[in-house]
Amino acid sequence: MSFECCGRTGHITLASQRFSKYFASYICEEHLQSQMSRTVSKILVANRGEIALRIMRSAREMGIRTVAVYSEADRRAPHVLFADEAVFIGPAPSAESYLKGDRIINAAQNLGVDAIHPGYGFLSENAAFAEAVEEAGMIFVGPRPHAIRIMGDKLSAKAAVADFDVPLVPGSDGEVTDVDRAKELASEIGFPIMIKASAGGGGKGMRIVHNPEEFDAQMERAVSEATNSFGNGAVFVEKYIEDPRHIEIQILADEHGNVVHLFERECSIQRRHQKVIEEAPSVILTAALREAMGQAAVNVAKACDYRGAGTVEFIFEPGGKFYFLEMNTRLQVEHPVTEQITGIDLVKQQLRIAEGHPLAFDQKSLTIQGHAIEVRVYAENAAENFMPATGKLHEYKRPQGLGVRVDDGLEQGMEVSIYYDPMIAKLITFGADRTEAIARMKRAISEYRIAGVQTTLDFADFVMNHEAFVGGEFSTHFVENYFSSSALQSEDAELEAVGAAAVANLLQGAKTNQSVVSHGKSSRWKTNRS
């Protein structure tokens, strides 16, 4: 297929031809080369909090000047103070600030910015924004708009990978809106089945149906939720994998046709279909399975002519079968665990790829070193179905020591805002093996001091000590199978008993003028509720 650009004729690759409807325009090789040869000397980070800081730190190490954007709620936020320059973009609600793509682009142009990095969330998977950035003469640090469009819709993503030797969950070939047809497909696939919204994510528009009798009601709910959440009521039907694991593969792809994977991340500990604890590598993958999943992820990237960092997610079925779930066309929240086991800075790789550099390594040179675990520390009450518990951080002291990393964007005295995701920090530990990584995580959790808001540290501690997690025998149903509010309440009672005994011993020691040493833990969970 030919096209016109810069007065010259160009050609579209085979993979691109199959999805030409997702392209707003095509560019010739000379145009592409001109984009590839650009140098990034100043970058605007179109995000906030810990991910904005994370990106800026790597940019600064590369000698790149940074520009922060901020809302009214973030005037004194660490990412604003860290940046070389900062621009106010609007009121606290994200719809009036961090989602205002035109406002962000105008700010970047006024400050002579070379590139915009979207981080994750907000505009990171908005193809129109990526397109507008490039049309404004700047580099979008991420994939090209067509890849975002293809992979942003689950049905087009499945269609894209169908010819690239990527295993797919049995299900409908396209979107389904007719209830009777959907029910017919469900019977052909076999119950239980999953109804999924074609657009969006985060667990929205998803319903499990165990039998034909409940199909109509669940279909109606899925379509309604999808319409309300994404403005698109299209759904598809697929086989529901019972007791699955959620495993994803990190990939990097450059403009020169090089694609590699950086191994897997286990993301099966979830609440409300959203990840809360991740680790790398997975305890259940053999070398053969790792190679097969890695190659499938590389093929997914090739299917949409991918550029940059991306993550291919798979559902892993007991017995060793795996199926393509989706591709996230951005940096993932859990990317630090991959960095820990590979020694590769993914943000720096994103920036080098955006400048047009080829990857400096190939698949054979990549190896796994040690084990890493990430805990997302949310301002949520795990005992109350993980309800948000925002407020002021009266005390905030990070854990330290060998093998401990904290990515955050808040300081003591700041508010965990009601306007944004309630994640306070990402706590990452690294060890020579999984046992050491878990031990360090338990120690780091015990050292973390947060008061003023309830956090999910108590839940994380519960997971690290649970035999199913320690033994590697868990699935995405971990929370519903093993966790309850009573588990935390019993732990609180035990800690308080230990504390009471320690106080009694101290009082007795004072009476006898003896020195008493207590080996009990202090109840940080109670402190966190103050």
- In 384-493, the DSSP E strands lie at 387-388, 395-397, 404-408, 423-431, 449-451
Nearest to 74, CA basis, from 415, 423, 452, 333: 415
Which two tokens mark 268?
Answer: 């099966």
CB 153 within 8 A of CB 161: no
Q: If you write DSSP's letter for every residue of 366-404 in order, what string do you get?
A: ----SEEEEEEEESEEGGGTTEE---B-SEEE---STTE
Among the options 330, 352, 376, 405, which is catalytic?
A: 330
CB 393 within 8 A of CB 294: no
Hey, what amino acid is at 125? Answer: E
CB 304 within 8 A of CB 151: yes
Look at residue 358 and give its three-state secondary structure.
Answer: coil
Q: How far apart are CA 47 and CA 85, in angstroms?
A: 14
Is 330 an active-site residue? Answer: yes
**Per residue in 147-173, is it b (16+ CB within 10 Å) or e — as a string?**
bbbbbbbbbbbbbbbeebebeebebbe
φ and ψ at residue 360, rounded to 5 degrees: -90, 5
SS3 letters across 155-168: HHHHHHHCCCCCCE
Q: How far apart are CA 401 and CA 390, in angstroms?
A: 28
Look at residue 236 and give its three-state secondary structure.
Answer: strand
- Give the active site residues: 330
